[in-house]
Amino acid sequence: MPRISPAMIRKVASYDPLLGLLLPVCRTAEAARQELHWIRNEGASVQRACALRARSVPLQYVLGSQPFGELEILCKRNVLIPRWETEEWASELAARWQTSRVTAPTVVDLCTGTGCVALLLKRALPRAQVTAIDCSPFAIALVTKNLHHNDIRDVTVLQRDILRDDRPAIAADLVVCNPPYIPRDAFVRDVTTSVKMYEPRLALVADKEFYTNLCDVWLRHTRSFVYEIGDISQAHFVADRISATTWSVGIRRDSNGKPRVVYGFKTDDVQLNKLYDGFGYLVR
């Protein structure tokens, strides 16, 4: 990324000192102006917010929340901030289940973090039985807060390490998961400063562990799954490991054109064939 020159910062700061604080972290004057507008709109202490942003603290930790569909998800240090890519597939998935004939599906959200995906699905499908699982005590505490904050009830929240603890898994219609998916070398190379400095590594760094866990553990207990991916190789890994005779597997791109989700359903299930038709493209 191009370096932002001190001259440019000075120029922007002479216009508004707060913009000068935001420019290095926002990268462009346009983005800085936009962010200042949001900060002002949300009634935060503007000075304090800009000072924290100048130190690369994520805006969502500064303002304390991130919109996710129609929900407002509270965000705190030690728990990953929900991303727009996740919001996008989760919203589309919720809409599809809403119009399907299964009105009360059993849903398991693994690696739930703030609980954003679990809560979005529960809001869209009030009769669904939703279980949210994470190993981090910070995440578990925040999920509970978010349930209250969004006035959602009846979501089961469990603290478990899903890679070690394979107590009889829940029989589900849908397993969703946004697992840590950034390999160690890519973490050093590609991850932006703000993420590296302030978001928990536990939520980010892993290679194929969680996709292996899907194939070896969760597949036996569900009719369909939707997993976020960081790289297309992770989708191929799942497709190659899964029985081609019983499972259909697909890849869905995000609106920026990047492969973002690997999903699958039992091939002989007529209902699910219809539900996932057009969600992505089938590779198996």
Partner 1 sequence: MIHTRASEIAVMNVRWLCSTTLRLVKKNKLPPRPKFTKEMEAQCEEKFLHGGRGPGGQKINKCNSKVQLKHLETGIVVTCQETRSRESNRKIAREKMALEIARYLNPDSSTDARTEALQRWVVQGKRAKEKKSKLKYAKHEEERQSKQQESLRRDAAIIESL
Binding site for partner 1 (CB under 8 A): 34-35, 38, 41-42, 58-60, 66-67, 69-70, 80-81, 83-85, 87-88, 180-182, 186, 190-192, 194-195, 199, 203-204, 228, 230, 254-256, 258, 260
Amino acid letter, 21: L
Measured from the CB atom, is 101 or 220 closer to ligand SAM? 220
Scanning 31-39, 93-101, 159-167, 186-194 for contacts with ligand SAM by CB under 6 A, the matching segment is 159-167
User: Residue 163 binds which entry of ligand SAM, partner 1, none, with Cβ cut-offs from 5 to 8 Å by kind?
Assistant: ligand SAM
User: Residue 116 binds which entry of ligand SAM, partner 1, none, with Cβ cut-offs from 5 to 8 Å by kind?
Assistant: ligand SAM
Measured from the CB atom, is 86 or 106 closer to ligand SAM? 86
Nearest of 189, 185, 262, 263 to residue 231 by alpha carbon: 262
Tokens of 112: 């739930």
Nearest of 8, 5, 9 to residue 54 by alpha carbon: 9
Tokens of 131: 């279980």
Q: Is residue 163 near ligand SAM by the rule CB under 6 A?
A: yes
Q: Tell me which residues in 85-104 interact with ligand SAM (CB under 6 A).
A: 86
278: how many CB neighbours lie within 10 A of its CB?
11
Q: 20, 105, 180, 250: which one contacts ligand SAM (CB under 6 A)?
A: 180
Q: 69, 113, 250, 264: which one contacts ligand SAM (CB under 6 A)?
A: 113
Whether residue 189 contacts residue 221, with contact meaning beta carbons closer than 8 Å, is answered with no
Look at the chain and count its residues. Answer: 284
3-state secondary structure of 35: helix
User: Residue 191 binds which entry of ligand SAM, partner 1, none, with Cβ cut-offs from 5 to 8 Å by kind?
Assistant: partner 1
Q: Is residue 203 near ligand SAM by the rule CB under 6 A?
A: yes
Measured from the CB atom, is 169 or 238 closer to partner 1? 238
SS3 content of the chain, % helix, strand, coil (to 5): 45, 20, 35
Q: Is residue 150 near ligand SAM by the rule CB under 6 A?
A: no
Tokens of 252: 């869905």
Whether residue 161 contacts residue 135, with contact meaning beta carbons closer than 8 Å, is answered with yes
Q: Is residue 169 near ligand SAM by the rule CB under 6 A?
A: no
3-state secondary structure of 176: strand
d(CA 232, CA 216): 20
Per CB under 6 A, residues contacting ligand SAM are 80, 82, 86, 111-114, 116-117, 134-136, 139, 161-163, 178-180, 202-203
